[in-house]
Amino acid sequence: MEWKSRFNDPKESSGFLLWQVTQAWQRMITKELNKIDLTHAQFVLLAACDFLHTNGETITQKKLADFTKSNIMMVSDVARTLEAKGFICRNKNPLDKREILLSPTEKGSMKIKIALPIVEDIDVQFFTPIKETQDGFNEALLLLLSLNTKFED
């Protein structure tokens, strides 16, 4: 059978490499966040919610999904779990019953104060080998995000 790809080797594919790098980074984060009873998705959404709340934003599930570039259904599911853990409050918007408003609880804000240094330390460990080019790397990632919005929900 013949291999029918434009790449002779999967390591020539930026998408495949990005997948592998993302998986390695997420494994490191997941291992540490499991120790404090958070998943990576729970951390991202709780941290984003806490950040937006701290900056005076009114947070809807849609706004949180847009801010984190996440699927709205995933945000809804994870928000329910975070509510069950006592980390966020979910309430219907009195001005629009279709919207769910989110806000971190004191317990949720305290959990982020514990989790954020863990994740930031992992980021430092993981990305140190490219420290010299990290600004350019981040700029490239931001460019890719800005140019590829047509696939968003």
Segment 74-102, tens digit of pLDDT: 999 999 999 999 999 999 988 888 899 99
Segment 112-123, tens digit of pLDDT: 999 999 999 999
In order, the DSSP letters of 47-74 are HHHHHHHHTT--EEHHHHHHHHT--HHH
pTM higher than the cut 0.85:
yes
Is the torsion defined by CA of 83, 112, 38, 30 positive or negative?
Answer: positive
Segment 15-69, tens digit of pLDDT: 999 999 999 999 999 999 999 999 999 999 999 999 999 999 999 999 999 999 9
Say which amino acid occupies 61: Q
- What does the pLDDT read at residue 150? 64
Instruction: Please state which architecture CATH assigns to domain 34-138.
Output: Orthogonal Bundle (1.10)
d(CA 41, CA 114): 16
